[in-house]
Amino acid sequence: MANIAFIGLGTMGRPMAKVLQAAGHDVLGMDISAEMRAMFDGAVEPTAAAIAEAEIIVTMLPEGRHVAKVHAEVVHAGAASSALLIDCSTIDVDTARDLAAQAKSKDLMMLDAPVSGGPTGAEAGSLSFMVGGADEAFARAKPVLEAMGAKITFFGPAGSGQAAKACHNMICGITAMAVMEGFALADALQLDLHKFYALCAGAAAQSWTLENRCPIPGVVPAAPSSNAFAPGFASALMAKDLRLAQAAATSTGQITPFGAEAARAFTEFARMDGNLDFSAIYKTLRALPDEAQD
């Protein structure tokens, strides 16, 4: 069992660190927030001295700039030369590649390993990991990733975990726009939306988003729309992931017109209703009256 420093004990990091503890690892939790530290036994402020003993250093932080700061101020200042760095945050591909190159220049192994599955998957240890980095680093990390996740896909070169996550979530964002628009038009045409859902679910319009994020309350009882659009996956996180995909598109010169429109629409929606599930963007397409939204 490994000696693990886990930096970032927020919505995702805290349950992930707890799952590692439950699997028998020796986990020292770290966060800059005293409020977050109070919710994890024995947690400390992240310092170079505090991570000196760690064999594995996991980061689960909001954005690339936070991971870069922690690497510069804590990890590179204090990590043992044999330490393995695993960044599970969702960050831009270019920063992930830069951080991997910086780690390599210090003889540290690093993996980018963003996740999908949300807080529920984190608590259950059933996250899906998309991993980039060297084969040797992946072989060392695998038992730790397997404790936190049910599906682990190794893509190879540094940054490719983040690349896979950005492309995957861009497909989800574009699909979400398609499903929401289809239902908005079906409603405007006064179709029976229960029958329309059943038609789509059994035909070529079927998708994960359709079956899990149908925007019509009551059609899919377990969908966020049937629970006042409580997340699920918050529209602010969808907007963030779509912007990361756009950063990757710009960086590579690849055109992604539907991805660009989804990024624009979700960013605008998240400014108003960032805490609602992403399927709530339906409201902006179909102008639902207030009482139907609550």
x/- site string to ligand NAD, residues 103 to 122, per CB under 6 A?
Answer: ------------xx-xx---
Compute the least distance from the CB of residue 240 to ligand NAD, in Å.
6
Cβ proximity of 163 and 198 under 8 Å: no
| Candidate ranges 28-36, 175-183, 187-195, 280-288; the one touching ligand NAD (CB under 6 A) | 28-36
| Candidate ranges 8-16, 95-103, 142-150, 217-225; the one touching ligand NAD (CB under 6 A) | 8-16
Residue bearing tokens 């989804």: 262
x/- site string to ligand NAD, residues 68 to 87, per CB under 6 A?
Answer: -xx-----------------
54: tokens are 């760690």
Give the Å distances, CA to CA, from 218 to 38, 115, 197, 214, 222: 39, 30, 11, 9, 9
Give the residue closest to ligand NAD by C-beta. 10
Q: How far apart are CA 45 and CA 31, in angstroms?
A: 6
Q: How far apart are CA 209 and CA 193, in angstroms?
A: 16
Give the contacts of 106 (CB within 8 A, at least 6 positions apart).
Answer: 76, 81
Compute the least distance from the CB of residue 294 to ligand NAD, in Å.
23
Q: How many CA atoms lie within 13 Å of 20's alpha carbon, on the beta-carbon side?
A: 27
Compute the least distance from the CB of residue 32 to ligand NAD, in Å.
4
Does 48 engage in binding with ligand NAD (CB under 6 A)?
no
Does 36 engage in binding with ligand NAD (CB under 6 A)?
yes
Active site residue: 18, 69, 142, 165, which one? 165
Residue 106 is a catalytic residue: no
Measured N-to-C along each axis, helices 235-252 and 160-188 cross at an angle, to the nearest 10 degrees, of: 120
The set of long-range contacts for 18-23, using a CB threshold of 8 Å and a minimum separation of 24, is 18/123, 19/122, 19/123, 19/125, 19/147, 19/148, 20/58, 20/144, 20/147, 20/148, 22/125, 23/125, 23/147
Outline where 125-234 has alpha helix (H). 135-148, 160-188, 193-201, 208-213
Q: Which is nearer to ligand NAD, 90 or 160 (CB)?
A: 90
Does 102 engage in binding with ligand NAD (CB under 6 A)?
no
Cβ proximity of 171 and 241 under 8 Å: no
Among 27, 60, 110, 137, binds ligand NAD (CB under 6 A): 60
x/- site string to ligand NAD, residues 145 to 184, per CB under 6 A?
Answer: ----------------------------------------
Compute the least distance from the CB of residue 115 to ligand NAD, in Å.
5
Compute the least distance from the CB of residue 193 to ligand NAD, in Å.
28
Strand partners, 6: 29, 58
Site residues for ligand NAD, 189-248, by CB under 6 A, read 233, 237, 240
Q: Which is nearer to ligand NAD, 55 or 277 (CB)?
A: 277
Among 11, 128, 284, 293, binds ligand NAD (CB under 6 A): 11
Cβ proximity of 77 and 54 under 8 Å: no
Q: Which parts of this chain interact with ligand NAD (CB under 6 A)?
A: 7-13, 31-33, 36, 46, 60-62, 66, 69-70, 89-90, 115-116, 118-119, 233, 237, 240
As annotated, the active-site residues are 165
